[in-house]
Amino acid sequence: MSIDFEKALNAEQLAAVTARDGPVLVIAAAGTGKTRTLTYRVAHLVERGVDAQRMLLLTFTNRAAGEMTGRARELAGATVGGIWGGTFHHLANRLLRRHSPAIGFDAGYTILDQDDSLSLLRACVNELGLRDRHFPKAEVLLSLYGLARNSERPIEQVVERHFHAEAVHAEEIPRVCAAYADRKRGMNALDFDDLLVEACRLLRERADVRERYQERFLHVLVDEYQDTNPLQAELVDALAGRHRNLLVVGDDFQSIYSWRGADFQNFLSFPERYPDAQVYKLETNYRSLPGILDVANACIAGNPRQFQKTLRAVREGAVRPVLVELRDGGQQARFVIEEIHRLRREGVPPGEIAVLYRAHFQAMELQLELTREQVPYVITSGVRFFEQAHIKDVCSLLRLAHQPGDEMAFLRLLALLPKIGERTARRIWEQLGGRFSPLRPPDVAAVAERLPAGARDDWQAIAEALTGVGTDDLRRAPGELIERFSAAFYERYAAETFENYERRIEDLDELERYLSRFETLGDFLNEMALMTNLDAQAETVRRAEPDSILLSTVHQAKGLEWSAVFVLWLAEGLFPSGRSLEEQGGDEEERRLFYVAATRAKDSLYLCVPAARRTKDRGWNFYTPSRFVTEIPPKLVRKEPLRYG
């Protein structure tokens, strides 16, 4: 079997796909077939006889890696399946699960997701007696600490830059971070940033491990390279250090994660770090009508210090993006819905329509209206499937069964019982000596003895449900543990606790289904915390309504495309976000974000500019139109007259 690369690719893509070995930089503007190029590159390498097991494909979501390898497999055959692929965190986790003892900690560590990290940080603030209205919130602390670690700068410096004024106990922040790090170490837990930090340390300090993987990875391919942070760049450089077959693809115009430490200088300076790098540019845009690209180009022209790229449209058509000025959010919602109906009548399938916005809460009004008008939609919510309370509650039991030293899981499980709060749960944990397995009857009994009277009945019910479940059962059917726990206790608990408890119980079925796809419970638990929103959502969307339009933040829409795209709330302070503008380089990043939003559209782009938004106390906030809209030369857009009085 042989693939006709010349036929499938244009000249630009073909050059990148067939580039000779060595470092390669592919500057791929939006919609120029970046994914296609990577996919064909993988297939090309396989055809050249490179063993897929010796390739590493780093992407922004696990799903992206899966899709690319899936397509490469169709092209080049089943062997592609052996490729290492996924997110940076995924890779780091994989390395650490194998080698963490080499740098001094047990490979059975637990991963803290953002919620876990926040509550641990709050606990540290409280313990240090810093709880105060003026002390920065856990969210702020975590983002500063994360930024420091991902950009490899001292926390003091990050704090100083962030609070330019004479600040709020800023000098205490490093202490809190140290306490947080201690607590994590004490419970053998890693947060998301630790995964990267420790994986880098592993490769830095352990030459044997480093060389082993350097030898292994003949080819390293990185997608969305403009959004890597210094740690991730170091990881890549280390792994590709021996064979130096490093191909990175990206677009500095689409760098939108600097607040997380991403630095597109990694991308810009690639030719300096790899002087022998071959550089390819993809500038032929297959996605969008020229009118859409004109608007995108006009906007991004405001950002001078980047690789200059000119998007060349292949498609033809004189349609211009629509600019709609609206009175308020309600009118915006009605406009979107009416326009969706019109698009549907014209034959645009719902799956080809997306509504994008800067922040999750900006979609609330539209959600209400869509529900009322019975327009099916799915939303990439701010809360991930695996971060919802009920999912985490049930998983805490699984986690303990798998890893009896999982303190976070134990605290969570016990706090479900009445009369048990944080303090009591921690006290019992300490009395148990930091170990608890729901599968060991003595452990279960030991907890029962220490519970206050009010909590005993519930615990008894759980204990009965667990009797007879052994390690073997767990291995065979972890779902059974969920079912028993749910029947004996959790369903009733959920009914008492949550308003929408039926839906949450249904989610537990979903969880079981999901679980059944993994070979072992451990495999599932290892993946769970690292699942991205899009990964988890891919399931729901596929199973649920294919007849749904999508609501998403611009960030989560990265890499995707639709026939029709609505961009909501294009007002100063909302998009661009007022908070971002305060940051250094905020205007530029917001501009790139707008660029990403606009270039998602293939055929129609709607820019919605409401003038006012209702405040909680029934007043109104008035907005001026977004700079990204006023900067567009008027002739590039079609102004939609107001249709609602």
Annotation says 427 is catalytic: no
Q: Which of 67, 156, 160, 422 binds DNA (CB under 7 A)?
A: 422
Under the binding rule (CB under 7 A), the answer on residue 390 touching DNA is no
At position 85, the amino acid (one-letter code) is G
Interface of this chain with DNA, residues 294 to 353, rule: CB under 7 A:
none
Under the binding rule (CB under 7 A), the answer on residue 193 touching DNA is yes
Annotation says 602 is catalytic: no
Cα–Cα separations (whole angstroms), residue 15 to 5, 12, 312, 354: 10, 5, 18, 33
Q: Which of 170, 238, 279, 389 binds DNA (CB under 7 A)?
A: 389
Annotation says 223 is catalytic: yes
Residues touching DNA, count (CB under 7 A): 51
Q: Which of 70, 376, 454, 546 binds DNA (CB under 7 A)?
A: 454
Q: State residue 287 phi and psi, 5-degree precision.
A: -85, -55
Nearer to DNA, 95 or 277 (CB): 95
Under the binding rule (CB under 7 A), the answer on residue 542 touching DNA is no
Q: How many C-beta neighbours within 10 Å does residue 584 have?
A: 10
Contact 69, 86 (CB under 8 A): no
d(CA 521, CA 399) in angstroms, rounded, equals 9
Annotation says 35 is catalytic: yes
Under the binding rule (CB under 7 A), the answer on residue 278 touching DNA is no
Under the binding rule (CB under 7 A), the answer on residue 169 touching DNA is no
Cα–Cα separations (whole angstroms), residue 239 to 36, 52, 202, 220: 24, 16, 12, 8
- Nearest distance in Å: CB 526, DNA: 13
**Cβ burial, residue 643 (10 Å; 0-12/13-18/19+):** exposed
430 Cβ contact partners less than 8 Å away, ≥ 6 residues apart: none
Under the binding rule (CB under 7 A), the answer on residue 358 touching DNA is yes
Under the binding rule (CB under 7 A), the answer on residue 94 touching DNA is no
Nearer to DNA, 258 or 548 (CB): 258
Task: Select from 597, 547, 537, 603 the least CA-distant residue to 568.
Answer: 597
Which three-class secondary structure state does DSSP give residue 191?
strand
The window from 88-96, 102-110, 320-328, 459-467 that contacts DNA (CB under 7 A) reads 88-96
**Cβ burial, residue 123 (10 Å; 0-12/13-18/19+):** middle
Contact 606, 567 (CB under 8 A): yes
- Nearest distance in Å: CB 613, DNA: 10
Nearer to DNA, 199 or 256 (CB): 256
Under the binding rule (CB under 7 A), the answer on residue 214 touching DNA is no
Under the binding rule (CB under 7 A), the answer on residue 54 touching DNA is no
The window from 178-186, 307-315, 413-421, 462-470 that contacts DNA (CB under 7 A) reads 413-421
Q: Which of 9, 189, 409, 425 binds DNA (CB under 7 A)?
A: 425
DSSP labels, 370-433: HHHTT--EEE--SS-GGGSHHHHHHHHHHHHHH-TT-HHHHHHHHTTSTT--HHHHHHHHHHTT
Under the binding rule (CB under 7 A), the answer on residue 143 touching DNA is yes
Nearer to DNA, 166 or 496 (CB): 496
Task: Select from 87, 49, 51 the least CA-distant residue to 68.
Answer: 87
Q: Exactly one of 600, 602, 613, 627 is catalytic; name it.
A: 600
CA 122 to chain centre: 23
The radius of gyration of the chain from alpha carbons, rounded to an integer in Å, stands at 26
Under the binding rule (CB under 7 A), the answer on residue 138 touching DNA is yes
The window from 335-343, 354-362, 405-413, 563-571 that contacts DNA (CB under 7 A) reads 354-362
Q: Exactly one of 12, 116, 194, 224 is catalytic; name it.
A: 224
- Nearest distance in Å: CB 49, DNA: 32
The window from 23-31, 38-46, 177-185, 576-584 that contacts DNA (CB under 7 A) reads 576-584
Quote the Cα angle for 199-201-205, to 5°: 125
- Nearest distance in Å: CB 260, DNA: 5
Residue in the structure block whose two tokens are 């055929």: 603
Under the binding rule (CB under 7 A), the answer on residue 539 touching DNA is no
Under the binding rule (CB under 7 A), the answer on residue 380 touching DNA is yes
d(CA 179, CA 237) in angstroms, rounded, equals 32
Annotation says 600 is catalytic: yes
Under the binding rule (CB under 7 A), the answer on residue 392 touching DNA is no
Under the binding rule (CB under 7 A), the answer on residue 114 touching DNA is yes
Q: Exactly one of 223, 252, 387, 588 is catalytic; name it.
A: 223
d(CA 573, CA 553) in angstroms, rounded, equals 16
Q: Which of 13, 37, 39, 87 binds DNA (CB under 7 A)?
A: 87
Q: Exactly one of 228, 254, 331, 332 is catalytic; name it.
A: 254
Under the binding rule (CB under 7 A), the answer on residue 254 touching DNA is no
Greatest pairwise CA separation for the chain in angstroms: 76
Contact 27, 307 (CB under 8 A): yes
d(CA 336, CA 551) in angstroms, rounded, equals 12
Q: Which of 40, 145, 192, 213 binds DNA (CB under 7 A)?
A: 192
- Nearest distance in Å: CB 329, DNA: 12
341 Cβ contact partners less than 8 Å away, ≥ 6 residues apart: none
Q: Exactly one of 35, 284, 367, 497 is catalytic; name it.
A: 35
Nearer to DNA, 40 or 145 (CB): 145
Contact 267, 226 (CB under 8 A): yes
Q: Which of 101, 349, 421, 585 binds DNA (CB under 7 A)?
A: 421
- Nearest distance in Å: CB 156, DNA: 20
Annotation says 540 is catalytic: no
d(CA 103, CA 614) in angstroms, rounded, equals 54
Nearer to DNA, 19 or 511 (CB): 511
What is the DSSP secondary structure assignment for residue 624, as one 8-state letter?
P
DSSP labels, 426-444: HHHHHHTTS---TT-HHHH
Cα–Cα separations (whole angstroms), residue 412 to 150, 238, 409, 417, 480: 29, 38, 5, 10, 20
403 Cβ contact partners less than 8 Å away, ≥ 6 residues apart: 108, 110, 409, 525
- Nearest distance in Å: CB 515, DNA: 20
SS3 per residue for 506-527: HHHHHHHHHHCCCCCHHHHHHH
Q: Which of 34, 71, 99, 122 binds DNA (CB under 7 A)?
A: 122
> Which stretches of 88-176 are assigned E, i.e. beta strand?
110-112
The window from 45-53, 67-75, 98-106, 418-426 that contacts DNA (CB under 7 A) reads 418-426
- Nearest distance in Å: CB 220, DNA: 18
At position 237, the amino acid (one-letter code) is D
Task: Select from 517, 532, 543 the least CA-distant residue to 378.
Answer: 543
Interface of this chain with DNA, residues 515 to 534, rule: CB under 7 A:
530, 532-534
Nearer to DNA, 10 or 143 (CB): 143
Under the binding rule (CB under 7 A), the answer on residue 137 touching DNA is yes
Interface positions with DNA (CB under 7 A): 60-61, 87-90, 114, 122, 131, 133, 137-138, 143, 146, 192-193, 256-257, 259-260, 358-361, 380, 382-384, 389, 418-425, 427, 454, 530, 532-534, 553, 555-556, 577, 579-580, 583, 616
Residues marked as catalytic: 34-35, 223-224, 254, 600
